[in-house]
Chain A
Amino acid sequence: MEAIERHTISVLVDNEAGVLARVIGLFSGRGYNIESLTVAEVDMARHLSRITIVTSGTPMIIEQIKAQLGRLVPVHRVSDLTNEGPHLERELALVKVNGTGDKRIESLRIADIFRARVVDSTLESFVFEMTGSPEKLNAFINLMQPLGLVDVSRTGVVAIARGPEAI
């Protein structure tokens, strides 16, 4: 058996009705994994959106995923950031922690270490905003667990290649 690899794939698509459904339907219909998926318009003038997908599979499956994506009519480019060299991955999380007393102070202290910002506060709760790699977000969220974590909202990964090349 070939080893399972995790790949971050960037897909440039026409921002038209149904395009996200096509991509998601492709993944569910063919049984591919989606670890995360983000989408937003990135070129207003040409109506292009960029979809960032984190997926996993054997090298043969990853090749299939890219070929199948490339076959969709509204897809302009499929770029395998994991294969194409160094790239940046970022995710944003909003993390709600309820607590009072020592736990509340401890959550603030850890947030400071992780460079998370307080974006909402009541006497018994904080909402932290934090940006970073998915691993860093995981670490922060794990630390908040015993300190009163009640709610998490994450964007999923957005990614871009390092250096001057564009998709």
Chain B
Amino acid sequence: MTQELTGAGIVIKALVDQGVDVVFGYPGGAVLPIYDELFKQNALRHVLVRHEQGAVHAAEGYARSTGKVGVVLVTSGPGATNAVTGLTDALMDSIPVVCLTGQVPTHLIGNDAFQEADTVGITRPCTKHNYLVKDIADLPRVMHEAFYVARSGRPGPVVVDLPKDILQGKGAYPDGIDVERRSYKPQTTPDADRIEQAVALMASAKRPLFYCGGGVINSGPEASALLTEFVRMTGFPCTLTLMGLGAMPASDPHFLGMLGMHGTYEANLAMHDCDVMINIGARFDDRVTGRLTAFSPNSKKIHVDIDPSSINKNVRVDLPVVGDVKLVLEAMIAAWKRTKARPDAAALAEWWRSIEQWRGRDCLRYKNSDKIIKPQYALQRLQAAIGDRDFYVTTEVGQHQMWAAQFLRFEKPNRWMTSGGLGTMGYGLPAAVGVQMAHPDALVVDVAGEASILMNIQEMSTAVQYKLPVKIFILNNQWMGMVRQWQELLHGGRYSESYTESLPDFVKLAEAFGAVGLRAQKPDELDDVIREMIAVKAPVIVDCCVDQTENCFPMIPSGAAHNEMLLGPDDVAKPVSEEGMVLV
């Protein structure tokens, strides 16, 4: 039955009908009608963040840990502009988010009204799609279409800009809203011929390698289960991107670790030397490929992606397969079984022998100390303390992020939330808030750097208000460590502005927020501090004081190839090429 509602009422009804249970937001004049409706109902929970960027990252954390669409509600003008970093982050990492922004009333649009910003103009390049609702008759369809667009195909953020007069006007909310657009039809079912060709190519491989990414996670947990099944069935090695960690269990012997700039020796050399590469849901990002002209020079490349524009964007591939990873893997597994594919066992054994040799280099090895906490050791102790418990990790951006990717072990998808594409410092804490909202009883850790954490530290207040026991594990090296590392290796040790002066006392800071603060300064204090951090049923900040000079290895310097990796401090970096120096 069609109902007559206010615009704000339509917004709330559409959210409830979409199965939304939590909204991350911050009020303001333009969205007061929505806040008024929120006040009158109980179906939706609202989490009051302390900065709109935090709202978007929280929604991302929620989305990545549940597979559902994350929802944000912010006001016009500064509310919307504050959300821009989060939206860009969600776009780069293909995270489904719907962000509702208030707008000045339609008759004032374009007049430089108070708190007016051209939100659809500003967010056009940082959303998958956006809408400005100028007629209340469009509102129900736009709301539902926004969710459909955000979650279907390659997921991404969608903005719905809502002028205040639309929110206050009255309109119909019809039954059965059709969100199918004539124009937007993502291809999910792969082409059957391509599947046959892909499987035939795989069966002919002598040095095969699976290279899989966030697309597997986005396709849902079944896709990860299928990937694991397929990897084991074929006996091929598999590496995962930063975004893909957890898509197959880290404990599986077929898993070679993460690849790319700070990936493992075995993963990167396998990429360089493979003869058939099976890319599933990864996008040949520059952090992964290194110097393009030297990237995996002798391989035939299969590329599975739901987004046709990812194919042949950076790397020319031999066999593109457009489709949803889950459906593609189902089809590939069926074809593999049906054709009774038997790859050359002797060649495969030889390939694994090379890989085991590379593995033998133990590339993540570091020199431990009993006087000073090494950041890698801190993460190993964290992993040990977690044991078999289910846990969720978010990170900030920097060395600590790469060490977390290298040293923490993800057995399941949707457990690892990090800002990959945009590399947003300040992501981890609000993302952890979002994860903990979705999983109230789970262990949620934000592995942080002391510089990054200050970028959205205000969200401590949110964590305390909603009794979200997030654990902020700061690997405090007193430096913007990743910046310092580049300056050391690439800029002659001129440490320009990378020392983090005047840091707060993080223990007192935690206490000031009403949270718990802990500190570890010596290796032998670590285990107790970590144990207490996990045990406390409240938000915790751990100030883990680590070696200030430690660098993150292995490292492929910008502009270098996979086989030109630096394995440790004793590997002297070759002077980086001019092309390399201009790279980020």
Residues of A within 8 A of B120 (CB): 18
A-B contact pairs, 27 of them (CB 8 A): A14-B183, A17-B134, A18-B120, A18-B124, A18-B130, A18-B132, A21-B121, A21-B124, A22-B124, A25-B124, A63-B312, A64-B309, A64-B312, A67-B308, A68-B309, A70-B309, A71-B154, A71-B309, A72-B129, A73-B128, A73-B149, A73-B181, A73-B183, A74-B181, A74-B184, A75-B183, A76-B183
CB distance from A80 to the nearest CB of B (A): 14
Instruction: Confirm or deny: A13 has a beta carbon within 8 angstroms of a beta carbon on chain B.
Output: yes
CA A60 to CA B314, docked complex, whole Å = 9
CB distance from B311 to the nearest CB of A (A): 7
- Per-residue CB proximity of A123-153 to B under 8 Å, as 1/0? 0000000000000000000000000000000
Instruction: Confirm or deny: B365 has a beta carbon within 8 angstroms of a beta carbon on chain A.
Output: no
CA A25 to CA B124, docked complex, whole Å = 8
CB distance from B168 to the nearest CB of A (A): 21
- Per-residue CB proximity of B293-329 to A under 8 Å, as 1/0? 0000000000000011101110010000000000000
A71 (CB) vs chain B CBs: closest residue: B309
User: How many of chain A's residues have a CB under 8 angstroms from any CB in B?
Assistant: 20
Which of under 10, 10 to 19, 20 to 34, or 35 or more describes the interface residues of B? 20 to 34
Instruction: Confirm or deny: B125 has a beta carbon within 8 angstroms of a beta carbon on chain A.
Output: yes
A59 (CB) vs chain B CBs: closest residue: B312
Instruction: Confirm or deny: B40 has a beta carbon within 8 angstroms of a beta carbon on chain A.
Output: no
Residues of B within 8 A of A13 (CB): 183
Beta-carbon contact of A60 and B184 below 8 Å: no
Instruction: Confirm or deny: B182 has a beta carbon within 8 angstroms of a beta carbon on chain A.
Output: yes
Query: Which A residues fall within an 8 A CB radius of B?
Result: 13-14, 17-18, 21-22, 25, 29, 60, 63-64, 67-68, 70-76
A sample of 8 more A-B contacts (CB under 8 A), given A18-B130, A74-B183, is A14-B183, A21-B124, A22-B124, A67-B311, A67-B313, A71-B307, A71-B309, A73-B181
> Which of B124, B128, B132, B149 neighbours the largest number of chain A CB atoms within 10 Å of its CB?
B124
In the complex, chain B residues 127-172 whose Cβ is within 8 Å of any chain A Cβ: 128-130, 132, 134, 149, 154
Beta-carbon contact of A71 and B308 below 8 Å: yes
Residues of B within 8 A of A22 (CB): 124
A77 (CB) vs chain B CBs: closest residue: B183
Residues of B within 8 A of A63 (CB): 312
Residues of B within 8 A of A29 (CB): 125
B186 (CB) vs chain A CBs: closest residue: A71
Q: Known contacts A29-B125, A73-B149, A76-B182; decide if A17 and B309 are in contact (CB<8 Å).
A: no
Beta-carbon contact of B124 and A73 below 8 Å: no
CA A73 to CA B309, docked complex, whole Å = 14
- Per-residue CB proximity of B102-127 to A under 8 Å, as 1/0? 00000000000000000011001100
Residues of A within 8 A of B183 (CB): 13-14, 73-76
Residues of A within 8 A of B308 (CB): 67, 70-71
Residues of B within 8 A of A72 (CB): 129
CB distance from A39 to the nearest CB of B (A): 16
CB distance from B461 to the nearest CB of A (A): 36
CA A75 to CA B128, docked complex, whole Å = 13
Of the residues B125, B149, B313, contact of A64 by C-beta under 8 Å: B313
Residues of B within 8 A of A67 (CB): 308-309, 311, 313
Residues of B within 8 A of A73 (CB): 128-129, 149, 181, 183-184
